[in-house]
Amino acid sequence: MSSNLDTLYRQVIMDHYKNPRNRGEFDGDTVTVNMNNPTCGDRIQIQMKVEDDKVTDAKFVGEGCSISLASASMMTQAIKGLKLDEAVAMSNIFSDMMLGKEYDDERFDLGDIEALQGVAKFPARIKCATLAWKAMEKGINDQKD
């Protein structure tokens, strides 16, 4: 990755960390999942409003490093309007990206999420980046059961 691109990605991550999108909580009926990463102390709560097998809105609250909170901000933006299966498929693509695997960037517009691809170079930080995504997947799987 070029240093200019690296700098741009860092700026995008810091923007989501300092100005999180969808931070907060819903009142009423939501799919709610709490998860933590005991390795570094990240804690996240994901809430999703689901109607007709689709994520109509999503929010998060939590504490943690810039990567975990920026990732939660990006994820809540990205899954709004997706069918539950699409949100899980996007999460699988994100996991592949975090593991440094080839990933399908044609299916979804990943937008700011691609700024996190550099995390793959730091294995200890992958759990930080994937925490919110794993919480979202758990919520969707619980919703289906």
pLDDT above 80 for 7: yes
Q: What confidence tens digit (pLDDT) does each residue in 10-61 have?
A: 999 999 999 999 999 999 999 999 999 988 899 999 999 999 999 999 999 9
pLDDT at 144: 80
pLDDT at 14: 95
Residue-number span of the structural domain to which 42 is assigned: 4-143
- Looking at 91-95, 122-126, 130-134, 141-145, which range is the least confident one? 141-145
Cα separation, 19 vs 41, whole angstroms: 21
pLDDT above 80 for 95: yes
- Closest CA relative to residue 47, chosen from 16, 79, 18: 79
As a whole number, mean pLDDT of residues 125-136 equals 96
Whether this model's pTM surpasses 0.75: yes
As a whole number, mean pLDDT of residues 89-113 equals 93
pLDDT at 1: 52
Tell me, what CATH number does 86's domain have? Answer: 3.90.1010.10
- Per DSSP, the three-state class of 33 is strand
When divided into structural domains, the chain yields a total of: 1
> In the chain, what is the straight-line distance between the N-terminal and C-terminal CA atoms, in Å?
41
